[in-house]
Structures are given as C-alpha cells and as structure tokens.
Chain A
Amino acid sequence: MKSQSYDSMKSSFDLNRRDFLRIGGAFGIGLLLGNTSAWAQENQKVAPPAKIKTNIDDALKTFTTGRSLPGPFPGRVVEVCDQKAMANDRPVPEVVRTMFEKGVRQLTGKNLKKSFGMFFEKGDVVGIKVNPVGAGLINTRLEVVDATIEWLTKNGIKPDNIVIWDRYDFMLKEAGFTSERYPGVGIVGLQTMGETEEESGQSEGGSKAEGEGQGRTQGESTSEGKNEGASSWLDKNGNHVSAGNFDMDVYYWADVEGPKDKAYLNQHVFNGKYSYFGKLLTQRLTKIVNIPVFKNSGNGISMATKNLGYGSICNTNRLHNPLFFDVCTEVLAFPVIRTKLVLNITDGLRAQYDGGPMPVAEFAYPMSTLFFATDPFALDMTCHRLMVEKRKSMQVKVNEHPIFTDYFRYAERLGLGIADPEKIEHVRI
C-alpha cells in the first residue's frame, strides 16, 4: 500500500500566510468595504481550540506485559470476503463460520485450536465487545459472535467465563444479545439509562389520548429528573444507579468538564473531568475480543478503536469535540485495554458508508466481509482507506484531510500499532 506523507508542509512559495497578513491582506479588504478592519479587530476572534491535557502519560508509565498492543501480528490485516455470506440481507451462519476460521488461520498461520493457544488460556474470562447501535440494520451480527463463542468454548473456555458487553444494557437487548439467545453467557451493559419523557399529546383529529404525541408541547423530561419515575436512574443518595459499575481508581482524565445537566448525567453517569473504566474491564475480564462494525463516523470511521475508545469508559460526550479521535488512541493506551485486547474482528457483513455512526438505511449495504487483526490501528487504517474508496465510488463527498487519520499516526508514535500503510500487510482472501 502506498501512502502520501503528510508531514508539515514546507513552504515553496515566496509569500506565506504570515507574510500575506503582515502586509495587509485584510487591509486591502478594509479598503474595499470601507474602513471596517478596526471593527473586525475589536470583534472577538474564534481561536483554534488548544490541545486538551489528558493523563496519557499515566497510561504510558505502566509496565507492559508480553501480551500487549499491537499483539503478535503488528500491521497484519486479513480481509475475508464471501459473497454467499449474506442472503436477503441476513447472514448465513455456516458461511460466516467458515469465514471466521479462514480469517483466524490467515492471521496466525495456525489452525483454530493452535490459534486459541496464542491468545487465550482456559481460565480466561473473555469479554466480547460488540457494537449494538442500529439494531437490525448495522449492529454487530450475532452470527459473528456465535462463531467467536464457538471457538472459545470448543477450546475450553466455559460459557460463564464469556461476557458479551457494551456500554448500554438496553442496546444489547435491542440488538438481540440476550440471555435467552446466549444461555450461560454473560450479557453486560456497563450502564443503564433512565426512561425518556413520555407524554400525552395530539393524535389525528386533535383529540387527546394516552401515548399519542405532539410536538412542541412543554412536557417535563424524566431524564431531567423532574417527576416521579424520573429518578429511576438515580439512587436514594442522588447518584446514578450505574455509578458502582465504574472503577474510580482506573480512569481517563481530560481537562474538559462534562455538562452539569441531568440529561447528560443520565446518559453518562458522571460529569466532571474523569471518565472511569467499567469494573467489568478492570476487575473481571482477562481478555477482550473486539467486534465492531464497518461504518463511518462523518469523515472518519467508527470501527475497532472507537468501539473500545468510547465504549469502555463513561462521561464521553464531553470528549468528542475537543479531543476528536485522539480518545480512540489514548483510551486504548491504558493497560486495562492494552494488555487485554487480543483480537479485533471488524464486521463488514452489512456495512454503512455514510450517515454514521447512526444507522441510515440509504447507505447500508451488504459488504459480505470480515476483517481480522491483533493490531486495531492497522485494522482501522486499512478500513478507513477502504471506506474512503467506497464513499468515492458512491459519489459521496470525501474530505481526506489528514486530521481524520492523525490518531492512527499518534498510536504508532506511542507504539500501540502500525499506521503507515507502507508497513501494513493487508491480505485479502
């Protein structure tokens, strides 16, 4: 794979931006419009946001075990495609199982049994991180999880030492990850979320009826804690009922506050500057298998590193704007992820090339592909490039600015994975 280097550009021009401004770039316009430059100088300027401080140094101080990102196969990405994997937009279990076996074999160079031994021991507690967003349309397919669980149990992991997990409990249920579907296997949402407002309103013809909604009425939202039932997500001490699911001793800190409003707390458990890791990860799981979905997030992607970067901690919404995708790198640098994440399988059976991360059917399509890697950054860089190709082929506007892939290069500088396409071994089978 070839890539263009995006190191800082060296000016090859006689006139750079600073010179342009110094000699009065705006002055000329001031003449054009009348003498308004003075007004403009008084007007508050929007300065670019400063680099936000985080506790990434704490993560990097920690001794790294032999099993640590990027794993035994840095830079290796295996892509397995089988057009028979989907029939009527539904996965075909036996084809998915075969693809799974091919992918693992190609990644490790060993059969499933020997591959198991490279990643796991029989006493491990394995967490399978899925992405349940967009249930029915673009969530992690149950058939991929089935193949993973089959591999684990056949090689000695007990079902009760397997946990399918995500940030939100209700999303898991919506996507079909239930104890009925997976008897004996743990299903864990790091947190719950209180019920949102319900109201009565207007139905056709203007009559009132319970459960019929109308816009712009002024109801109170239970997420704002204003009525009985609203406090369903609050315990008697006024804390979120899921607060105990997060480990106050293991956290990602960033110098940006979460909003104080109740709606934010309902969704994020804590505000402030700390994003705590789930106790499931810090205290129970010994290994993690990451199964994200092949989908975009604006001009970036929401795949392997985002599935864990934003899925393992609470109080995340405050991080989107100031830290952008860097969270996906920095959270994975913490030992709780770095030393436990052993395998990533990006589910591209049914993918989405635009409108993500939320489900938009217009852009969902059968890709019939699974990707395998121990190195989530090489995997994401590869998938990012494939996503760009797909978006271009569908005449979607693509902004290829390096800012959307900088976090991969950041990860490479931290030793967490390979980002340089020249060094990535992308194998297609």
Chain B
Amino acid sequence: MRRPPLLNSVAVLFVFLLSSADVVSGAKAGPAFPRDNYVAGWVRSERTLRFERSNLFDYIDGGAELFLEFGFDVLLVQRYKESNAKGDDEIALEIYQMESAEAALGIYLTKCGKETPVGGIKERNSGDRYQFSIVKGDCFIQVNNFGGDGKLMPVMLKLTQRTLASIPKGPPVTLLSRLPEKDFISGSGLIFRGPYALQSIFTFGSGDVLQLRGNVFGVTGDYAGPEGGVYTRLLILYPEPKAALSAFENLSNNLDPYLEVVSRLENGFTFRDYRDKFGTVELKNDVMEIKINLPEKPETTER
C-alpha cells in the first residue's frame, strides 16, 4: 500500500463545499473522518489521500483489479499518529466506497477469510490487532496497524466506531440468499463480478468467458456432498435469458482446454476436469448454474 512521498512543491488544497451541484452530479455524502483527538492524543498525521479508478494502482501495488472489477468508486485514506509519542505507531484508515452494497460485501467476503469479529463493532467485520475489515452500506473499510501492537486495539476500535457512525447503513444485500439452503456449508458464500474474483474458484476459460462484463453478479458456495465430500455451486445471475444464453454459448465455444465435455444435457453439459473431477453447466432461464468438484459423474438426464 503506498504512502506517496512528501514533495517539496507547494501543493494546492481544494476546498469543496457540499453543494447542490454535487447532488446534481450524482455525488453522495460520504463518510467523515474522525477529528484529531478522537482518542486523546491521536491526531491526523498526514493529509487525506483520495484515489479514483484511474489511479487506484498508485495505492494498491497489485490487486487493484479486483476492486475495479467489483465496482470501485473512491478510496479515501487518512493516517493517524499519537502526538508527542516517541514511537512510530501509526493507524491508517482506508475507506473504499463501492458502487453498491453488493459490491462492498463482495470485496469484504473476498478479503476477510474466516471471519473473526472484533467485539464492539456492530457491523459485519473481521479483524485482529493488525487490521480490521468492516463492511457497511456501500463502504468497505480497513483499519490498519501494521506495527501490530495489541495496545492500540482500543484506539483502532474507537476510530472504527466513529467512522462507521458517519456511514449510512444501506439496503440489505440479498444476493447470497439465491444459493439453495439445503446442504449449504455455512460461511462458504462468496460473491463475484468478473474474471479476477472467479479465478480463485475455478477456471472455465480465458478472459471473461462467462460474459460477466463487470456488471453481472454471481454467487458461489460450498455444499456437503455424499460420503463427506464437498462440491461447489455457482449461480450467475444474468439480467435476462438472452444474456444467459449468449454467455452459455460463449462458454461452450471457448471452454478451457483442460475441461472435457463428457455428455450433453437437455439444457447444458457435463464436463470432466484435469483432476478427474466432474462438473455441470445448466442454463435455467436467466441463471447459469454451475457445479464443480463433483467426485463422480452426476446422474443426469442426457440428450
């Protein structure tokens, strides 16, 4: 994560009034950073940094693509230090404003791993003494203390609480409820919106083979299979049946060479992968349902 160098040149500060012009332009009121001394002695150590789509790479040296794919809007960064302290302890607050609450939750789930909630934070979160990750509304927030001093946990907590108070709750995200409940393994749900997020799950082909195009969400989760096995189900939620069909045909035409079609179904096909595991692709109106990591060839109605 970058901290831009302090330059000798005199920088110009822009002061923006939240005017009706902002509303007209589509800008929304965003989160507010806690003032100096939000905890006694803790003050902002540098100016606020702001990153947009065009220069997010300036801050994230590797991995920015994932944020962009999910629908990144603005990143604001504010660092805090303890005034008059001899040490170099520093806490960095990062607020990633995403296009939607779905996008924010998607990034959060991708980043948080096995959730270990921090006490004292009401919103969905995971963290430890190094880093808190929180999702609220259309914001994904990280509070970093890469020095790792556990004594700073209360300071991190206060900073988090104060920041969250300024962020609207946002609408509930229902995407994951599209996954069937039966045999679903709790905690395994993820959201994706493009090939980068999909990479961690499975490779179906090169590029955007599922035609997600940065605006089609998909959800995935693990399911308990027979004899203790686990398979993975993906649902890609296209806006209309035509888009789903187009994506299906594109997938069929450009299926990854390490996948072998073994049978044709009435509305899809079954494949075998390079590990001798099986998968199915089925088109169901405007949804493409894919199952992977099946230990046996599924018993389906073949054409």
Q: Which of A13, A362, A395 has the most CB of B within 10 A?
A: A362
The range of chain B's interface size is 35 or more
- CB neighbours (8 Å) of B252 from chain A are 17, 20-21, 25-26
Write the chain B residue with the least CB distance to A295: B62
Q: Can you list 6 A-B contacts (CB < 8 A)?
A: A6-B274, A29-B268, A197-B49, A224-B55, A298-B200, A402-B274
A129 to chain B, nearest CB (A): 15
Interface assignment of A320: CB less than 8 Å from any CB of chain B = yes
Q: Mark A168-183, 1 if CB is under 8 A from B, else 0.
A: 1111011000000000
A residues whose Cβ falls under 8 Å from a Cβ of B: 4, 6, 8-9, 11, 13, 15-17, 20-21, 23, 25-26, 28-30, 32-33, 36-37, 39-41, 43, 45-49, 89, 133-137, 168-171, 173-174, 192-206, 208-224, 227-229, 232, 261, 263-264, 266-267, 297-299, 302, 317, 320-321, 354-364, 394-403
Question: How many A-B contacts at CB < 8 Å in the complex?
Answer: 340
A280 to chain B, nearest CB (A): 19
Write the chain B residue with the least CB distance to A222: B11
Q: Which of B48, B116, B165, B257 has the most CB of A within 10 A?
A: B48
Query: Within B240-288, which residues are at the interface with A (CB < 8 Å)?
Result: 241-242, 245-246, 248-250, 252-258, 260-264, 266-269, 274-275, 283, 285
Q: Mark B110-132, 1 if CB is under 8 A from A, else 0.
A: 01111010000000001110110
Write the chain A residue with the least CB distance to B116: A362
- CB neighbours (8 Å) of A89 from chain B are 148
**B13 contacts A200, CB within 8 Å?**
yes
- CB neighbours (8 Å) of B114 from chain A are 394-395
CB < 8 Å: which of B12, B128, B263, B269 contacts A228?
B12
- CB neighbours (8 Å) of B242 from chain A are 36, 39-40, 43
**A206 contacts B32, CB within 8 Å?**
yes
- CB neighbours (8 Å) of B130 from chain A are 137, 361, 364
CB < 8 Å: which of A21, A221, A396 contacts B54?
A221
* CA distance in complex: A137, B92 (Å): 13
Write the chain A residue with the least CB distance to B255: A17
**A297 contacts B246, CB within 8 Å?**
no
**B13 contacts A26, CB within 8 Å?**
no
Write the chain B residue with the least CB distance to A317: B57
* CA distance in complex: A137, B130 (Å): 8
A289 to chain B, nearest CB (A): 22
**B3 contacts A174, CB within 8 Å?**
yes
* CA distance in complex: A398, B254 (Å): 22
- CB neighbours (8 Å) of A202 from chain B are 18, 29-30, 32
* CA distance in complex: A17, B252 (Å): 8
- CB neighbours (8 Å) of A33 from chain B are 241, 245, 283, 285
* CA distance in complex: A25, B267 (Å): 8
**B205 contacts A201, CB within 8 Å?**
no
**B199 contacts A362, CB within 8 Å?**
no
Interface assignment of B173: CB less than 8 Å from any CB of chain A = no
Known A-B contacts A32-B283, A89-B148, A229-B10; A302 and B47 likewise in contact (beta carbons under 8 Å): no
Q: Mark B57-75, 1 if CB is under 8 A from A, else 0.
A: 1111111010000000110
A279 to chain B, nearest CB (A): 20
- CB neighbours (8 Å) of A43 from chain B are 242, 246
CB < 8 Å: which of A168, A228, A263 contacts B55?
A263
**A400 contacts B275, CB within 8 Å?**
yes
- CB neighbours (8 Å) of B201 from chain A are 397, 399
